[in-house]
Structure 1
Amino acid sequence: MLCLGIESTAHTFGCSVVEYNKGNPSSVPEDGFILSETRDIYKASAGWGIHPRDASKHHSQVATDILKKCMEEARINIKNIDLISYSAGPGLGPCLRVGAVVSRSLASFYNIPLVPVNHAVGHLELGIKLTNSINPLTLLVSGGHTMLLVFYRNKWRIFGETLDITIGQLFDQVGRKMGFASPCGNKIEELSGLSKDGFLHTLPYIIKGNDVSFSGLLSSVKSLIDDKSNNLYDVCFSLQETAFAIIVEAVERALAFTGNKEFLIVGGVSANKRLSEMLNLACVTHGSVFNSCPLRYCGDNGAQIAWTGSQIYSSDKSSCIEPENASVNQSWRLDSVSIPWR
């Protein structure tokens, strides 16, 4: 079965075609089942974040070209597609609607089954597939999510999450304060690596059980940036070390409580090498195997939507919707999604 996945939750418009083998869906842990993966990312002006209206305009302008490149890379025609899946949420409303419109237009014109996919579940499911994990304690860290999850009784259960802003939003807001354009995680990592003395500023460290909080950390770091006597490299180093230490503490508590021997990190922030280094050490301490989603698929992509849509459709044909009912949900919680295939 060939499935086209369309991703448009935030700054990325992506299309991907995956080949799904129901008889042995876990036979190839590598990305050989992904026949194509194309995307284009909306770039905000320096010092600014994602404006939903401008990002959705970008998606509308690049959609045709990205879809065409996706088909060419997969070496197929749209008529060869057996299923279309699209990111229905959570995300930015105007951006989500572009993907929904493109998807329902194609599904309606070519009479192809259509399946809505939860974007966050897509991160988890593709990460599990690509790392050949079975049932890991999973950390989802991105611009839209910061949560620890375990799978239990057909649903992903949240073991801990942010009480305010996500780790991705923390890095983006600090980066914009310094004049960079979102997403800023890579700039924070780069500047942190330039801290020669590794000077650590004292910053708010807030964790409540397995839940974390970053708003106080954000305010303190902004104050440090305003003080021109502070070295920005040291500020970024302090920010990164403190934020990651908070997350790692929550992960260690979860590993100790669950006794899980598999750990997986997914989402855009999982690309950060320092975070992976700290989490790997935590896993070694608790006798758990550390896995991270491959770098190419850390960020938002169509493959996560196509792969998850394939599993949904394969497990329940009634999951398909009529094209005219292809709606979006900006606040679609992943712990509300039933997972019958696992």
Structure 2
Amino acid sequence: MIAIGLEGSANKIGVGIMAHEGPDGADVRVLANVRRTYITPPGQGFLPKDTARHHREQVIPLIAEAMAVAKLSWRDIDCICFTKGPGMGAPLMAVAVAARTLSLIHQIPLVAVNHCVGHIEMGRQITGAQNPVVLYVSGGNTQVIAYEQQRYRIFGETIDIAVGNCLDRFARIIGVSNDPSPGYNIEQLAKSKPDPVLVDLPYTVKGMDISCSGVLSAVQEIAASPRFKGDKRKPHVKPELDAADLCFSLQETLFSMLVEISERAMAHIGANEVLIVGGVGCNKRLQDMMAAMSLQRGGKVFATDERFCIDNGLMIAQAGMLAFREGIQTQIPDTWITQRYRTDAVHVLWRN
């Protein structure tokens, strides 16, 4: 069985094609995984209408490229999977319309997929993690998740902005480039200095939840103060701080909060595995901090590289195929999108 997946919940549009082979579909092959990113100038974010325009321009060429890479015709495709949510409304709708059109033209069943579940199932497939605590951390979402009774239960999450959004907004404040992504460039700045200054920032953990807006406000205030880049008129203000110091401090604070709530979830359910998914999950410093915690507990951390942790169509194809094999399909009248589609709202029929 072969599925094509369309993802476009934020500034990336991706098309992935995946084959499930064997009597139980356990033999999984990646046939294509192509992606384009809408990149704005430094200091600017991406607006929904502009992002949707980008996706509309790119979706047809990307689909054609994926089909060419996979060397398939539409007769070979068993189901078309698309992101239903969560995400930005206009970009989501652009991709949903493309999936709906393909389904009508080629008479192929549709499967609507939860973006967060797509990340989880892709991570499980690539890493082989069995029943881990999942840290899902991206530009729009920050959640600690564990599976129980055919649901991905949310143990903790951000109560305001996501960690990825916090990093992106700080990148705009200090004028960091958006190419290839603000978070990646912050990571490079954070490790560019051999002995960076660790600035004291608010550490806000509330039970199993975290808050990032206070951290962002504090580091933004420091970036606007005489300490940042030095001020010759006030030589008594020490130490002087640069972008590397602030990026390092922001990462250390946010990631420490994530490690704490992940460890608490592991202790609560008795898990010895943690799986990091989502775009921020590519960050090596986050992976190293989580690995150190897991090692102390006698456990193990799982993570993927940028091909699979950053938004991609392949993860939508994977989750959609798992649902399709259980008989789940989405009828054309139900192909609307849901910007606030909760992870724990999905009935995970393919796990028991």
TM-score normalized by the length of structure 1: 0.95
Q: Residues 339, 112 of structure 1: CA spacing in aligned structure 2 closer, same or farther, 3 A cutoff? A: same
Q: 1:47 aligns with which of 34, 38, 43?
A: 43
Q: How does 1:117-128 map to 2 (within 5 A)?
A: 117-128=113-124
Output the amino acid matched with 1:9: S
1:34-183 aligned at under 5 Å gives the runs 34-182=30-178, 183=181
* CA deviation map 1:69-127 (0-9, x unaligned): 00000001123211101001001110001111100101001100011000110000110
Q: Is the 8 A contact 1:255 1:286 kept in 2?
A: no
Q: Give the conservation status (yes or no) of the 8 Å contact 1:104–1:324.
A: no
Q: Distance in 1 between matches of 2:196 and 2:146?
A: 35
Q: Aligned pairs, how many?
A: 336
Letter paired with 1:186: Y
CA shift, 1:196, in A, is 2.9
1:149: Cα distance to partner? 0.5
SS of the residue 1:235 aligns to: helix
Q: Cα offset for 1:181?
A: 4.7
Task: Provide the residue aligned with 2:332 in structure 1.
Answer: 323
Q: 1:224 to 1:195 in 2, by over 3 A?
A: farther
Matched residue, 1:283 = 294
Is the CA contact (8 Å cut-off) linking 1:26 and 1:129 kept in structure 2?
A: no
Unaligned ranges ≥5, structure 1: none
The one-letter code sitting in structure 2 at the alignment partner of 1:100 is A
After superposing on structure 2, the runs of 4+ consecutive aligned residues of structure 1 that deviate more than 6 Å are none
Instruction: Output aligned runs, 1:187-266, within 5 Å.
Output: 187-227=185-225, 228=228, 229=230, 230-266=241-277
Larger Rg: 2
- Per-residue CA deviation, residues 231-269 of structure 1 (Å, 9 max, x unaligned), is 211111111111111111111212222220221111100
What do residues 281-333 of structure 1 show as CA deviations (whole Å, max 9, x unaligned)?
A: 100011112111233111000000001110101012xx212334311011100
Write the letter of the residue equivalent to 1:296.
R
Q: Which residue of 2 aligns with 1:6?
A: 6
Shift of 1:42: 0.7
- Whether contact under 8 Å (2:176, 2:186) holds in the other structure is no
- Aligned AA (1:239): L
Q: Does the CA-based 8 Å contact 2:278-2:310 persist in structure 1?
A: yes
Structure 1 segment 326-341 matched on structure 2, within 5 A:
326-341=335-350
Q: Which residue of 2 aligns with 1:17?
A: 17
- Matched AA of 1:248: V
Partner Cα separation in structure 1 for residue 22 and residue 163 of structure 2: 36
Contact preservation (8 Å) 1:201, 1:235: yes
Bigger drift between 87-96 and 219-228 goes to 219-228
Secondary structure of the residue that 1:20 maps to in structure 2?
strand
Partners of 1:2 and 1:46 in 2: how far apart?
40
Q: How far apart in 2 are the matches of 1:325 and 1:267?
A: 27
Following superposition, the deviation at residue 186 of structure 1 comes to 0.7
User: Shift of residue 39 of structure 1?
Assistant: 1.0
Q: Is the 8 A contact 1:167 1:214 kept in 2?
A: yes
> Do the aligned partners of 1:105 and 1:323 also contact (CA within 8 Å) in 2?
no
Aligned to 2:284: 273
Tell me, which stretches of 5 or more residues in structure 2 are unaligned?
231-240
3-state SS of 2:21 partner: coil
Q: What residue in structure 1 maps to residue 324 of structure 2? A: 313
Instruction: Quote the RMSD (CA, aligned, Å).
Output: 1.3
What is the distance in 1 between the residues matched to 2:47 and 2:188?
25
Larger mean CA deviation between 116-125 and 38-47 belongs to 38-47
Return the offset for 1:35. Answer: 0.3
Matched letter for residue 127 of structure 1: G
Cα distance in 2 for partners of 1:109, 1:115 equals 16
Q: Give 1:22 shift.
A: 6.3
**What is the letter of the counterpart of residue 147 of structure 1?**
Q
State the distance in 1 between where 2:262 and 2:334 align. 39
Instruction: Check whether the contact 1:42–1:58 (CA below 8 A) recurs between aligned residues.
Output: yes
